[in-house]
Structure 1
């Protein structure tokens, strides 16, 4: 990266950053909720010997 380029010049536009923030604010909780639900549904289904 050239020395004359600042971090503010290299950053994405504010609109793009807001778009990504909103997307992450929706997607990450959705993924966590689905993962938690999957663990809840399949709790206790595996015996002591494991998957195999």
Structure 2
């Protein structure tokens, strides 16, 4: 798992540098995007479950 975390940290560093933001801001951005995707998937699942 530590290798995967290292990959994620490297990605956040590259993302932060590319967008001229702090690493914390990059992490917040990524977490918001992940949550939006999760919420969209949950809404779709609920919609599909309601149509059975």
* More RCO (CA 8 Å, sep 6+): 2
- Whichever of the two has the greater Rg, that structure is 1
